[in-house]
Amino acid sequence: MRAMSVSAQAQPLSPGLRATLLRRLRRLLPADAVLAREEELRPYECDALSAYRRLPGVVVLPRDADEVRAVLRLCRELQVPVVARGAGTGLAGGALPRPDGVLLSLARLDRILRLDPDNRIAVVQPGVRNLAVSEAAAAHGLFYAPDPSSQVACTIGGNVAENAGGVHCLKYGLTVHNVLGLKMITMDGELLELGGVHGAPDGPGLDLAALAVGSEGMLGVVVEATLRLLPVPPATRVALAAFDDIATAGKAVGRIIGAGIVPAGLEMMDNAALRAAEDFVHAGYPRDAAAILLCEVDGEAAEADAQMARVCALLREAGATEVRVARDEAERERFWKGRKAAFPAVGRISPDYYCMDGTIPRHRLPRVLEGIARLAREHGLPVANVFHAGDGNLHPLILYDAARPGELERTEELGAKILELCVAAGGTITGEHGVGMEKIDQMCVQFGTAELQRFHDVKAAFDPAGLLNPGKAVPTLHRCAELGAMHVHGGRLPFPELERF
């Protein structure tokens, strides 16, 4: 079992070291900011990848950057590993704690420090919730674009760590495109200002802010982020199109993009996913369609209407059996409700589900979906597919029952094969969820030894002692060698004509 093997990787803190650590932490932080009893530690044993659990050695809840720095310096001195955590909504186990380490929760750094409508920036602490930024900016007619599905709960610090996306990435970009600057503290306790922390479009020298985004808490702890805000588009239009064949739906996506339209959102659901969603929230989806597409355009009213008229024509030309434009805001919200509820909807029809996050070049979609269906049959597990079709980010949901012996293992094996299929199709093992603990073995498939070694070297440039979130995101070369994953490159995967990225 994977859940057991992760526990076996690290021994708990020795009683002597733990006592020293607690005594010194309590000197740095208020009494309620250091948690050590098992019932206090239990809520931190996992993030949203709950199959992987282990208790942290200690949990700390600093209130400001100075306290974060003090904790990091102490842990550096005592050589104790540190795992940073936001809201714990990550899907890849990036915030999985260590029994021999400190779990550093940024939840109390939850203030929006500055909203500057003229420069269109928000300066926020890492524990601020994603949605809270747009809510605060709304008074100025502005919003923060990245909108991961967990945006009600997930925090900006976690979004930065994982380079979170959402349903509007094709037009508005990922977190990396919407962060102007970062203040980050290294394991040595150095406060770094990276990029345009005051709202300038860039910073001098190497783009270390871009490097820090998506670094999964391995390079430093973000204590402040300067976010780019955008004017709220006054008009939004959404169309729902039904298809009797999933490949036809995939081609329709290519038609829209080939016609020069960049939709604000372009989502696909297969029959299994759309049925589950329809039964759950009654979004008005055609239950017998093989696939549906949701296509949203936005802008000024004249712009949005003109684009929507073209989108509808293109969808019909591409073979949609039905095209419906939401007549009002209520219907638009209903269309989206089904998509946004897809994961919990699948959760209703299966005791457990496992969400994958591969990205592929869009034109490979039909072959990759065929491949997923074949693998699903071979493993005897159903799969529902939800797809950010505009940017090629695929979320296959494997339905399983953890109570049945062996089913979790079979699910993980199927998940790994699906990711390998994405890599072979010229894609990647993770589009927006991160590698964390979950996909560490698939990194051996995605990258060669030389690249993995450079990743370790980059980490060492920031964290020479290897104390920040150790063991995540980048596998050791030894681990890859043991898996024999490099052998898989020998041409046994499909699409051998493609270069591996």
Q: Does 447 bind another protein (CB under 8 A)?
A: yes
**Shortest Å distance, C-beta 142 to another protein:** 7
Strand partners, 238: 296
Both tokens of 181, joined, read: 């600057």
Smaller CB distance to another protein: residue 202 or 288? Answer: 202
Smaller CB distance to another protein: residue 394 or 398? Answer: 394
Are the beta carbons of 467 and 76 closer than 8 angstroms? yes
What string of DSSP letters covers 294-323?
Answer: EEEEEESHHHHHHHHHHHHHHHHHTT-SEE
**Shortest Å distance, C-beta 16 to another protein:** 33
**Shortest Å distance, C-beta 494 to another protein:** 17
Chosen residue from 135, 317, 401, 451 binding another protein by CB under 8 A: 451
User: Which residues in 380-409 contact another protein (CB under 8 A)?
Assistant: 388, 390-393
Helix/strand/coil for 155: strand
Smaller CB distance to another protein: residue 113 or 262? Answer: 262
User: Which residues in 208-267 contact another protein (CB under 8 A)?
Assistant: 208, 210-211, 213-215, 219, 231-234, 254-255, 257-262
Backbone angles phi and psi of 243, in degrees to 5: -135, 145
What string of DSSP letters covers 398-433?
Answer: EEE-TTSTTHHHHHHHHHHHHHHHHHHTT-BS-SSS
Are the beta carbons of 209 and 293 closer than 8 angstroms? no
What's the CA gap between 123 and 20, in Å, rounded? 36
Both tokens of 116, joined, read: 């500057």
Chosen residue from 18, 108, 198, 479 binding another protein by CB under 8 A: 198
- Residue among 361, 126, 89 at smallest CA distance from 226: 126
**Shortest Å distance, C-beta 313 to another protein:** 14
**Shortest Å distance, C-beta 191 to another protein:** 8
What's the CA gap between 165 and 139, in Å, rounded? 24
Smaller CB distance to another protein: residue 335 or 447? Answer: 447
Chosen residue from 43, 448, 494, 496 binding another protein by CB under 8 A: 448
**Shortest Å distance, C-beta 308 to another protein:** 11
Binding-residue total with another protein (CB under 8 A): 101
What's the CA gap between 275 and 342, in Å, rounded? 9
**Shortest Å distance, C-beta 109 to another protein:** 21
User: Which residues in 47-106 contact another protein (CB under 8 A)?
Assistant: none
**Shortest Å distance, C-beta 77 to another protein:** 18
**Shortest Å distance, C-beta 120 to another protein:** 7
Q: Does 139 bind another protein (CB under 8 A)?
A: no
Smaller CB distance to another protein: residue 226 or 271? Answer: 226
Place of tokens 């969820």: 433
User: Which residues in 455-494 contact another protein (CB under 8 A)?
Assistant: 455, 457-462, 473-474
Q: Does 207 bind another protein (CB under 8 A)?
A: yes
Smaller CB distance to another protein: residue 276 or 297? Answer: 297
**What angle do the packed helices 329-340 and 342-349 form, to 10 degrees?**
50
* Residue 477: burial class (beta carbons within 10 Å; 0-12, 13-18, 19+): middle
Q: Does 176 bind another protein (CB under 8 A)?
A: yes
Backbone angles phi and psi of 197, in degrees to 5: -65, -20
Chosen residue from 155, 159, 271, 307 binding another protein by CB under 8 A: 307
- Which window, 28-36, 135-143, 316-324, 345-353, contacts another protein (CB under 8 A)? 135-143
Smaller CB distance to another protein: residue 18 or 177? Answer: 177
Distance separating the N- and C-terminal Cα atoms of the chain: 30
Are the beta carbons of 179 and 228 closer than 8 angstroms? yes
Name the strand (E) or helix (H) holding 113. strand 112-116
Backbone angles phi and psi of 325, in degrees to 5: -100, 135
Q: What is the 3-state secondary structure (H, E, C) of 332-346?
A: HHHHHHHHHCHHHHH
Smaller CB distance to another protein: residue 9 or 501? Answer: 501
User: Which residues in 342-381 contact another protein (CB under 8 A)?
Assistant: 359-363
Q: 419-438 mask for another protein (x: CB under 8 A)?
A: -------xxxxxxxxxx---
Smaller CB distance to another protein: residue 107 or 261? Answer: 261
User: Which residues in 6-45 contact another protein (CB under 8 A)?
Assistant: none
Smaller CB distance to another protein: residue 100 or 298? Answer: 298
Smaller CB distance to another protein: residue 281 or 311? Answer: 311
Smaller CB distance to another protein: residue 35 or 473? Answer: 473
Helix/strand/coil for 180: strand
Chosen residue from 118, 328, 329, 497 binding another protein by CB under 8 A: 118
- Residue ranges in 79-180 assigned as alpha helix (H): 130-137, 156-162, 169-172, 175-178
Both tokens of 174, joined, read: 């990922």
